[in-house]
């Protein structure tokens, strides 16, 4: 069995031990990694969220100026609340040929592989810079990386985003937009629904309409994706106080994951049209003050497939991949590409393991990533 280096495992265990769930700060992890990188000679820059409770870190080895390769990973992880883990999610554990822990594949595994190579990067006679980019709040809509990109003093030649792809080369992904719709009703006794408006019922009709719009969107397809169309989905609903009270308020949190090049805000506009024409008039009869308030919370761009991209070409050359895959999930690659930095996704682990209890990364995947990134460093010195 191929095995990763002990340095990779050590870094990954240390990274997992930091609880960087998106609702929490990532500064302790950033402090730890920055100290290690600066000790090795890296030039480091931070960019913060508005509250300065979270930071991106951009570290550079090698010559100054434009160019070079970005190795990019996010530091935040999704919650473990309510999940049935068989071990402490923030204490990495190797069992058999897998390492378990929150973030093992999504995506501290890639970051650990990059950090394990720092001594080699620092010692290499680089002709092109190697940049390490660590971001915050990827898991809540890729909210942190735009600040990192805005803060760049030099423009890299390309970026490799190490999301879990089983080390396959992924050259395109869907975008994503998260939306919150607040339904405002009028309280009253549930025996007389015509004298008020139940916000929960309004929310139900809204969700049904969202499902119909999702079906409409299936007419526009790209067979390279699975599913091959833009999707809509409501995933969180809150509302109501008692069975016999018409709910005053309900909230639907939903998303749109568009194919690259499609405008997710068009879906938001379509839902507003349906609300005004089809749903609200029914409830306004008993409650003129009833209404819907829709807010776009986050939105990140998709990554369009470009077979001539230098990032795709480099990843294929170094990995030996014949095919270029696509992904239905989103990554920060779309933001880098929008800023004019060609991007590709390639990293250890499977997205099938992400966000679940007993998240793991196969040790063979870490070993493959070690080997791949070592070739990236060699290319930068070539």
Name the residues annotated as catalytic: 76, 138
In the sheet that holds 231-239, the strands lie side by side as: 231-239, 249-257, 176-184, 291-300
Strand 158-161 relative to strand 69-74, pairing: parallel
Torsion of CA 347, 353, 358, 359, to 10 degrees: 20
- CA contacts within 13 A on the Cβ side of 161: 27
* 346 contacts 169 by C-beta, under 8 angstroms: yes
How are beta strands 130-135 and 55-61 bridged, if at all?
antiparallel
Distance CA 109, CA 15 (A): 9
The H or E element that residue 21 is part of is: none
Rounded to 5 degrees, what angle do the CA atoms 25, 30, 36 make?
160
Select from 266, 365, 265 the least CA-distant residue to 319.
Answer: 365
**Coil, helix or strand at residue 213:** helix
The H or E element spanning position 330 is none
- Strand ordering across the sheet containing 130-135: 43-48, 55-61, 130-135, 69-74, 158-161, 343-345, 170-173, 325-327
- Report the C-alpha gap between 345 and 330 in whole angstroms: 10
């Amino acid at each position: 069995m191929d095995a990763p280096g002990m340095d990779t495992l050590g870094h990954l265990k240390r990274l997992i031990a930091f609880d960087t769930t998106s609702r929490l700060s990532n500064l302790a992890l950033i402090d730890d990694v920055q100290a290690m990188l600066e000790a090795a000679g890296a030039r480091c820059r931070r960019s913060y969220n508005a509250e300065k409770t979270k930071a991106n870190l951009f570290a550079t080895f090698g010559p100054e100026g434009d160019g070079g390769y970005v190795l990019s990973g996010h530091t935040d992880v999704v919650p473990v609340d309510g999940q049935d883990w068989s071990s402490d999610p923030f204490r990495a554990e190797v069992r058999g040929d897998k390492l378990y822990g929150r973030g093992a594949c999504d995506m501290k595994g890639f970051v650990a592989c990059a950090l394990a190579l720092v001594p080699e990067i620092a010692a290499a006679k680089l002709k092109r810079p190697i940049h390490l980019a660590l971001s915050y709040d990827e898991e809540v809509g890729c909210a942190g990386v735009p600040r990192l990109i805005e803060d760049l003093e030099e423009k890299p030649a390309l970026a490799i985003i190490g999301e879990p792809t089983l080390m396959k080369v992924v050259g395109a992904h869907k975008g994503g937009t998260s939306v919150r719709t607040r339904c405002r009703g009028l309280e009253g006794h549930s025996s007389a629904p015509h004298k008020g408006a139940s916000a929960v019922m309004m929310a139900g009709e809204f969700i049904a309409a969202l499902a119909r719009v999702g079906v409409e969107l299936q007419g526009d397809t790209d067979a390279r994706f699975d599913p091959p169309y833009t999707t809509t989905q409501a995933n969180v609903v809150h509302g109501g106080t008692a069975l016999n009270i018409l709910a005053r308020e309900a909230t639907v949190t939903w998303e749109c994951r568009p194919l690259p090049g499609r405008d997710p805000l068009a879906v938001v506009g379509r839902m507003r049209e349906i609300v005004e024409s089809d749903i609200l008039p029914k409830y306004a009869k008993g409650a003129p003050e009833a209404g819907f308030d829709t807010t776009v919370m986050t939105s990140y761009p998709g990554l369009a497939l470009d077979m001539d991209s230098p990032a795709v070409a480099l990843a294929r050359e170094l990995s030996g991949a014949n095919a270029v895959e696509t992904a239905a999930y989103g990554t920060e690659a779309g933001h880098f590409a929008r800023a004019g930095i060609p991007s590709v996704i390639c990293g250890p682990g499977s997205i099938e393991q992400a966000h679940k209890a007993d998240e793991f990364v196969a040790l063979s995947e870490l070993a493959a990533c070690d080997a791949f990134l070592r070739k990236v460093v060699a290319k930068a010195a070539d």
